[in-house]
Structure 1
Amino acid sequence: MGTFVGHIVPGLALTLLGLWHTVNTIRAFCNKGCTNFTVKFWYPFYGPVSRLKHLELIFILSFSVLAIFMQLLDFPSLRFSFKLDSFEHASIFLHLAIFAGFTLSAEISQSSDILSGVSGILAAFVFGQELFLLHFHSTDHVGLEGHYHWLLQLIVFVSLLAALAATNFPNSFPAALVLSISVVFQGCWFMNMGFMLWFPDFIPEGCVMQFAEASIDDMHGAVTCGSLAAELRATALANLQFSWILAGILLLTGCMCLKLARKCTPRSQSTEYEQLHSRGVPIAIDGFKQTDP
């Protein structure tokens, strides 16, 4: 993951996954209302082909397995890489593969309703292990790169708390929405790190990219600043990026909430209630049953 592509590809995947969950979470809440809403850790894809229903879980599982092989194998020699940081990155995707594999198996065996809490626990462990491996990384991230990784840990920590809250309170719309937003934020921040730390044209002023060539085709780097003032300026720029990206995500989420709320009618407003409050329409109550208190 210590490359430009190694940050852009998983970042884009996380962003798309988070947006998919954000849209479906808001739509489900608008359709079902606060009383019937239930947190879901994956959403089916209803396309022209019924077999694509589990597309999200298949995508997560396939992407995780592929990422594990990419971390453990050196290309193009296809030899095993025995670097500690590669094993740490692969371990993050391993827990993601466990979550996707278990949830997919539960869906196929038609036991997802009973085991939904287990899927939530596994999702929480994904973020917990990610936070653990980021915090105790074998490669010391210092300076500007260390600050970007520290901000990433804040996002992952929020994802962990939201996953735990969504598991313990399966009817909580705020917990589900925060979880989806945090996944989008993780993906956007991954891509931002790829540009700001691994793309020479985006390196902050006063800082340079130091290359350490491990092989002919595999080049890793880190950003070092020439002075304390340049490092402080680059750190402040990272903080602004953190705030601006979050603001953009929240603005997009708010717009989606407003748009989907207009299209959906909460189920809590029953047909009888609407009939009694409509104007110019005769009220028929013969078919209604009166229940004793």
Structure 2
Amino acid sequence: MGSFVGHAVQGSALALLGLWNTIHTIRSYLVKGPANFTVRFWYQFNTPQSRLKHLELVSILSFSVLAIFMQILDFPHFHYAFKLDNFEHATMFIHLALFAGFSLSTELTDSLDLFSGFVGILASSVFSQELFLLHFHSTDHVGLEGHYHWLLQLIVLVSLVAALAATIFPNNFNAALVLSISVIFQGCWFINMGFMLWIPAFVPEGCVMNLAKASGHEIIGAVTCGSKEADFRARGLANLQFSWILSSILIFAGIICLKLARKCTITTNRLEYERIQTKGAADSALANEGFKQAR
């Protein structure tokens, strides 16, 4: 995690996962309506090949297991080293793997209806453990890096509250939408942290990177600011980035809502028109048959 690559890969995966769930949550709500909407923590792929139906859960499980081994083997050095921060990161992925593995099992055994509440509890545990391990991280994130991680904890807290609300109120569209949007936000914030903390060209003015070591294109270090004014400016810039990224995600989610609402309205109107036409044709046929019998 202590590199640009680690932040960018995990951030991209989270952003894509959140985007996938945001689109399908909105679509499900528009198609089923408020009365029949049910929160889902994952969505199947609509594909003729049944093997790809659970691709989301398989991808989450595979990514989590791979990330656990990468942390334990101290990527990119690939040697076993008992580093507390690596094991803390691996523990976050363990809870994600538990959620994906159990959810996949309920799908394969057709027992989702029986254990949907427990699936929600596992989803909530992912964010609760992430928040716990970020807050009590063995690595002392201070200065600008600590501020970025503090803002990250705010996002994870929202994800946790939304996941709990979606579990307790399984028909609550708002909780499901906030959860998926917060996952996008987590992913985008991880990517932003990768640029601002691990790429020298993006380090704020008046601050420098303390290079611990360099290996190829990977740069590992932390950012420190030379003065209180530079530190204050860098933190203010981080706050602006937080608001700008959130605004961009909300604008994008609003566009998705409007686009899908228009598409679903057109589809619904077309189906209603076809139903009326079919009913009219059937009524006409019955009337003609009655007229013939009367003659």
TM-score, structure 1 length as denominator?
A: 0.90
% identity of equivalent residues: 68
1:1-293 counterparts in 2 under 5 A?
A: 1-75=1-75, 78-213=78-213, 219-265=219-265
Q: In the alignment, is the contact (CA less than 8 A) between 2:208 and 2:223 conserved in 1?
A: yes
- Offset of residue 208 of structure 1: 0.2
- Offset of residue 217 of structure 1: 8.6
**Which SS does the other structure have where 1:91 is aligned?**
helix
- Offset of residue 50 of structure 1: 1.8
The aligned counterpart of 2:291 is none
Amino acid in structure 2 at the alignment position of 1:199:
I
Q: In the alignment, is the contact (CA less than 8 A) between 1:27 and 1:260 conserved in 2?
A: yes
Amino acid in structure 2 at the alignment position of 1:71:
Q
- Offset of residue 49 of structure 1: 1.9
CA distance in 1, matches of 2:215, 2:189: 27
Runs of at least 4 residues off by over 3 Å:
74-78, 214-219
Q: In the alignment, is the contact (CA less than 8 A) between 1:71 and 1:81 conserved in 2?
A: no
What are the Cα deviations for residues 26-53 of structure 1, in whole angstroms up to 9, with x where unaligned?
A: 0000000000000000100112422100
The aligned counterpart of 1:291 is none
CA distance in 1, matches of 2:23, 2:254: 11
Amino acid in structure 1 at the alignment position of 2:41:
F
What are the Cα deviations for residues 42-70 of structure 1, in whole angstroms up to 9, with x where unaligned?
A: 10011242210000000000000000000
CA gap 1:234/1:69 in 2 versus in 1, 3 angstroms: same
Q: In the alignment, is the contact (CA less than 8 A) between 1:73 and 1:80 conserved in 2?
A: yes
- Offset of residue 211 of structure 1: 1.0
Unaligned 5+ residue runs, structure 2? 287-295
CA distance in 1, matches of 2:202, 2:11: 17
**Which SS does the other structure have where 2:53 is aligned?**
helix
Unaligned 5+ residue runs, structure 1? 288-293
CA distance in 1, matches of 2:188, 2:99: 22
CA distance in 2, matches of 1:76, 1:121: 34
Greater helix fraction, Structure 1 or Structure 2? 2
- Offset of residue 247 of structure 1: 0.2
**Which SS does the other structure have where 1:264 is aligned?**
helix
Amino acid in structure 1 at the alignment position of 2:7:
H
Amino acid in structure 2 at the alignment position of 1:83:
K
CA distance in 2, matches of 1:85, 1:236: 27
CA distance in 1, matches of 2:59, 2:160: 22
Q: In the alignment, is the contact (CA less than 8 A) between 1:26 and 1:260 conserved in 2?
A: yes
- Offset of residue 264 of structure 1: 1.1
Q: In the alignment, is the contact (CA less than 8 A) between 2:198 and 2:219 conserved in 1?
A: no
What are the Cα deviations for residues 187-223 of structure 1, in whole angstroms up to 9, with x where unaligned?
A: 0000000000001110000000001128889752000
CA distance in 1, matches of 2:89, 2:78: 18
Amino acid in structure 2 at the alignment position of 1:108:
L
Q: In the alignment, is the contact (CA less than 8 A) between 2:22 and 2:177 conserved in 1?
A: yes
- Offset of residue 80 of structure 1: 1.2
CA gap 1:259/1:77 in 2 versus in 1, 3 angstroms: closer
> Cα RMSD (Å) of the superposition?
2.6
Greater C-alpha Rg: 2
CA distance in 2, matches of 1:58, 1:141: 33
